[in-house]
């Protein structure tokens, strides 16, 4: 896949996610959706995720989002949270409708995958997506099937602000997703 095609695929997937979400997603949520699509559903986005403060992270996702905002395919709004702090929410931009035909040719074969991630995780908070994506990361980092107690222990080592009980419950809640995880190395 050429660099330009990869950029168009990434932009297409990110804008398609934003279009389908019931509420405007933030940067963390979009980062985790991209990670799960690439890792679990094998959408060839070509990101190189590493474990970071809020789970799997690749600066290139933020670069792609900034480019989509700059091109007016997406719109970004700074929001303040009731408990303090701030973040960004994304919605569709003014130029998306005029670019949708070109973008749809890149995203069309991944429509089912995008629907899957939005339907399954679209109502989750950024904090929950941090936990869910870290669970997936632990499974993929290891490269072999782990038992639930091992998953809980490793996630708790990485994310000690989540209790073992919360992690344990999250593993149960997403067990259907975890059963389908098979990690392959991503082609750049």
| Average pLDDT value for residue range 102-111 | 86
- Domain-wise residue ranges, the chain: 3-179
| Average pLDDT value for residue range 80-97 | 87
HEC readout, the chain: CCHHHHHHHHHHHHHHHHHHCCCCCEHHHHHHHHHHHHHCCCCCCCCCCEEECCEEECHHHHHHHHHHHHCCCEEEEEEECCCCCEEEEEEECCCHHHHHHHHHHHHHHHHHHHHHHHHHHCCCCHHHHHHHHHHHHHHHHHCCCCCHHHHHHHHHHHCCCCCHHHHHHHHHHCHHHHHCCCCCCCCC
Q: What is the dihedral sign for C-alpha 34, 39, 44, 49?
A: positive
144-166 pLDDT, tens digit each:
677 889 889 999 999 999 999 99
- For tokens 């409708």, name the residue: 97
8-20 pLDDT, tens digit each:
899 999 999 999 9
What's residue 70's pLDDT?
94
Measure the CA–CA gap between 166 and 103, rounded to whole angstroms: 39
Collect all residues with Cβ–Cβ distance below 8 Å to 141 and sequence separation of at least 6.
51
What's residue 186's pLDDT?
38
What's residue 176's pLDDT?
66
């Amino acid at each position: 896949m050429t660099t330009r095609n990869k950029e168009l695929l990434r932009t297409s997937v990110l804008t398609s996610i934003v279009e389908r979400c019931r509420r405007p997603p933030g940067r963390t949520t979009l980062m985790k959706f991209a990670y799960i699509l690439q890792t679990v559903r094998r959408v060839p986005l070509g990101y190189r995720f590493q474990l970071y403060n809020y789970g799997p992270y690749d600066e290139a996702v933020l670069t792609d989002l900034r480019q989509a905002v700059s091109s007016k395919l997406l719109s970004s709004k700074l929001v303040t949270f009731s408990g303090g702090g701030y973040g960004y929410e994304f919605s569709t931009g003014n130029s998306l409708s005029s670019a949708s035909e070109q973008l749809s040719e890149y995203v069309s074969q991944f429509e089912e995958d995008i629907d899957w991630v939005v339907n399954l995780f679209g109502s989750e908070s950024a904090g929950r997506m941090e936990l869910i994506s870290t669970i997936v990361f632990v499974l993929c980092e290891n490269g072999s099937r782990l038992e639930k107690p091992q998953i809980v222990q490793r996630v708790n080592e990485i994310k000690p602000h989540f209790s073992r009980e919360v992690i344990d419950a999250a593993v149960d809640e997403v067990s259907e997703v975890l059963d389908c995880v098979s990690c392959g190395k991503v082609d750049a």
